[in-house]
Each structure stands twice: as C-alpha cells, then as structure tokens.
Amino acid sequence: MTLHLHDSAAGAVREFAPLVPGQVGIYVCGATPQGSPHLGHVRAQVVFDVLRRWLVRSGYEVTLVRNVTDIDDKILAKAAEAGTEWWAHAYRFEREFSAAYAALGVLPPTVEPRATGHVPEMVELIQRLVERGHAYAAADGSGDVYFDVRSWPAYGELTHQRLDDMEPAADADPRGKRDPRDFALWKGAKPGEPATASWATPWGRGRPGWHLECSAMAGRYLGPRFDVHGGGLDLRFPHHENEQAQSRAAGDGFANFWLHNHFVTMSGEKMSKSLGNVLGVPHLLETHRAVVLRYYLVSGHYRTHLEHSENSLVEAEAAYSRLEGLLRRAAERLGGLAAGEVPAAFAAAMDDDLATPTALAVLHETARAGNSALAAGDEAALRTAAGQLRAGLDVLGLDPFAEPWASQTTGSDAARTALDVLVRARLEDRATARATKDFATADAVRDSLKSAGIVIEDTPTGARWALEGEQ
Ligand SMILES: Nc1ncnc2c1ncn2[C@@H]1O[C@H](COP(=O)(O)OP(=O)(O)OP(=O)(O)O)[C@@H](O)[C@H]1O
Ligand SMILES: [Zn+2]
C-alpha cells in the first residue's frame, strides 16, 4: 500500500503522490502569538510533525513551512491591555510557542517565516489580484483592500459552500465593501494605532489581513503549487477557504492536499483561549513527562477529537512506560540497540491516513514479542523486536534513545544506577533469607520493594527488578 491521506477539499481519502517525485512541500498554519501555548496548539504541530517524519522515513525530502502570524488585531489589543509594544508581546509568546514545540519533540520547520517580514510578497499578491479584477480598494477611503468574492465563482469550493448561504465576513467595516462577504486582504491604519503597526503600500499605510499572509508566505517558500496544506479544523473556514480563493484567483494552483487536525477538547469543547478552558503546556509539564504528553497526543487519530482528562495522561504514562521499559531492558541485555525497520503492519497503518492508534497497537504487540524473547533468552528475536519498536517510535517522535528524550534521561539514568545498587543489595538480602528458608524475611523484602513501586521477577539467572508498569 502507498500513502493515502484524507484531503478535506475532496472530502475523501486520496492516494498521495508528490508534485515533484521524491519531494514534498508542506505549509502548516502556525501560531498567532497573542498568549501562551496550550495543549491544543501543540497537538496541531505534533500531527504535522508525525506526517513529516513518516514522509522522511518513506524516502521523501520534505520542506515544511510553518508561519508565525506576528501582527494581528488580537495581538494589538492584548499588547495595549498589557501596556507593552505589540512586537515585544508577539515575540515573547512566539518564544513560548517555540519552547513548547521543542519540549514535545516537534522538529523545527525548514523555515519559520513571520508575517511582518513578508509585506512585499503580500503587496505583490494584492497587485496581481487587483490586475485580474479580484480585489479592490475600499470605497470609504479607509485604506482597506478587499477580495471580491463575486468575481471568483469557485469561492466556497474548499468547504463546499454556496456563496448565497454564507455569512458576512466580520473582519472590517462593511460600508467600504461591494459585498458583505468580501474579506480584507489589507487593513488600512486607523487613528490611534501604533505607527510601528503599519507599512506603506500603494493603497496607503496599513497591515496585512490574516488570510493573505499565509498565501504570500506559502508562495514565497513553496512556489505557486505545493503538496500539502495543514492546520486545525477551525481554520477550514474562513481562513483556508480565503487563502485558496486569493491564491487561485491570482493564478497559483496552491495546495494539492488539505489536511485538518481535530481538536483537543475539554468537556467536548475545543480547548481555546477565548473559552478559557485551556491547559498551558508549561503547566502540564510540571506534572507530566513531555514524552508522555506527546504519546497521549499521538494516541488519537488526527481526525478525531481528543478529549482531555487527567486519567488519559495516567494511562499514557503506563502505556509508554511499557514500550520504553522493553527498549531499556533490551539495550541492557544486548549491550546497545540499533533501530531497524518498522513492522509491516505499522507501515500499513501509517499509510492509511496516518492511523496512529493502530500503529501504536502494532508497537505494543512488538513489545510483547520482545518481552517473550527476553524471557526465553532469544537474543536474535529480542534484537529484531526492539529494533522494530525503536524505528516505529522514531516515526512518532517517541524513541527514548533519540533526542530530545535521550539527553533528558541522563539525570534519571544516574538516579536509576543509584537505585539499582540499592535494590540489588535488598535482593541479596532476600536471596540469603531464602537460602536459609527464612521466607518471612524474604517476603518482607519483596513487600517493602513493592510498596516503593518496585516489582521483582525471579528468573533462571537470579532476581531482576523493574518499576511498576515497566515490566
Ligand atoms: N484545541 C485545539 N486542538 C487542536 N488544534 C488547535 C486547538 N486550538 C488551536 N489549534 C490549532 O493551533 C494552530 C494555531 O492556532 P492559533 O494561534 O490561530 O490559535 P487559536 O485557534 O486562535 O487558539 P485559541 O482558540 O485558543 O485562541 C491552528 O492550526 C489551530 O487550528
Ligand atoms: Zn494560515
């Protein structure tokens, strides 16, 4: 089977074929850094990071562009509230987003363009639209420039909507518009706004409309036509519909596939700053390992919502510890461990529209096979299973021996060595007690270790220990 992806524009799963053999260009809508990142924001980036890793593993060269919308009405409003410069506000939270992505093992994009650095590309795109009769300067002299939806019969094609059924675009004063559904490409500067928040254009000073930014940046780095455009489900309309309309109306083919991730939800509702039901990433990292948060995000299919609960993170910790535990024991037994090929069933699941829940189930099967091989002393089978497990986890960004996780465990490795010395001493006491048939003492040792979360397994070569959930 080859890779198949659900294309939201087609409303169906389609076979994926890159426009240029061997190369894939992906554009993912990044953050509007008006506040701190929450778990939902990170889910979106983890989803496209997994797609990228799977494409790379499948032999493609991937260019991934993720923008930062560093100028926006909400940023201006929040900065004014906080009494800071908008650009300082945006950059502060941009850094928080970068830190959250890095903490969860999201690989840096190939390039991360900021909207404010691409005004010339935006002006050029508007000019093309004006020349082709698809954009016009507002009649009220506000300096706004609008996309003329009636001039583009394909408007609505991405989300399968008819123009007549659509609501007015609420992004600017409707008085300057030819049609209330026309959306702003460019927003004229208003009195009282900071001078630094506007740029000179043929239509006067102003700042970019949100949709225009993404079209301009995608075009700059990926060209007029590219393979995949991604983002959260909430961006399908109006953001992505408008991106596609303006790029195609300007003569660009734009995205070949549209992928949309579903939400992290709480009580069934999208985790969202405006609803106030957010869990900040730094806050979650105080009580959960980053790799476990990532395991949890990957454990759901990207097209289904992921209802957050504390219990699901506890389950993720137990499930990931099982996989990690086998890898650590295998590395210990084999004196190191190389990644191998992913299991065939894992590849089939990933090719089936990134079916990560199935892919993870395959990895748990692989770990079980590894555990049996370990117990049976079959090193060849153990090497194969553990190598496959590492390869699969690497695709999901969860390989404990790869960065960023490998260096994070250095400290705990030292702690683990110390623990090993202490536990082994207790195991020797137990062995001595058993040898003298003092079973009461032997059992007391076992019980006291158990109450500390340490389980003992008696093997033909002596007793071994593991942390609960790891065995
Ligand atoms: N709860 C969520 N689950 C999954 N993805 C999300 C969630 N919230 C936002 N995203 C995605 O994160 C990316 C960056 O979003 P953006 O900065 O525009 O935030 P937003 O949607 O305005 O967030 P909020 O609703 O919290 O204000 C987008 O692709 C968006 O769809
Ligand atoms: Zn976008």
Q: Which CATH number is associated with domain 4-261?
A: 3.40.50.620
- State the pLDDT confidence band at 461, using cuts at 50, 70 and 90: low
Q: What percent of the chain has pLDDT over 70?
A: 97
Read off the tokens for 168: 């007015």
Alpha helices in 355-409, H assignment, sequence order: 356-376, 379-395, 405-408
Alpha carbon separation from 202 to 137, 199, 448 (Å, rounded):
10, 10, 78
What residue spans in the chain does CATH classification 1.20.120.640 cover? 269-396
Nearest ligand to residue 48 Cα: 1
- Is a pLDDT exceeding 60 seen at residue 238? yes
Which DSSP letter does residue 239 get? I
Write out pLDDT tens, residues 327-375. Answer: 999 999 999 899 999 999 999 999 999 999 999 999 999 999 999 999 9
Return the CATH number of 269-396, one of 1.25.60.10, 3.40.640.10, 1.20.120.640, 3.30.565.10: 1.20.120.640
Write out pLDDT tens, residues 40-57. Answer: 999 999 999 999 999 999
- Is a pLDDT exceeding 80 seen at residue 66? yes
Identify the pLDDT of residue 468: 81
Lowest mean pLDDT among 95-104, 175-184, 446-455: 446-455
**DSSP H or E segment with residue 328:** helix 310-334
Identify the pLDDT of residue 24: 98
Nearby residues for ligand 2 (ion, Cβ within 5 Å): 29, 214
- Is a pLDDT exceeding 50 seen at residue 410? no
Q: Report the residue among 39, 41, 258 best suited for mutation to probe ligand 1: largest number of ligand atoms under 8 A from its CB.
A: 41
Q: Is 239 assigned a ligand-binding role in the annotation?
A: yes
Report how far ligand 1's centroid is from the alpha carbon of 2 (Å).
Answer: 30
pTM of the model: 0.88
Taking residues 230-234, what's their average pLDDT?
Answer: 97
What residue spans in the chain does CATH classification 3.40.50.620 cover? 4-261
Q: Is 81 assigned a ligand-binding role in the annotation?
A: no
The dihedral through the CA atoms of 146, 151, 157, 162 has a sign that is positive
Q: How crowded is the C-beta side of 7, counted as CA atoms within 13 Å? A: 16
Nearest ligand to residue 246 Cα: 2
Write out pLDDT tens, residues 272-331. Answer: 988 999 999 999 999 999 999 999 999 999 999 999 999 999 999 999 999 999 999 999
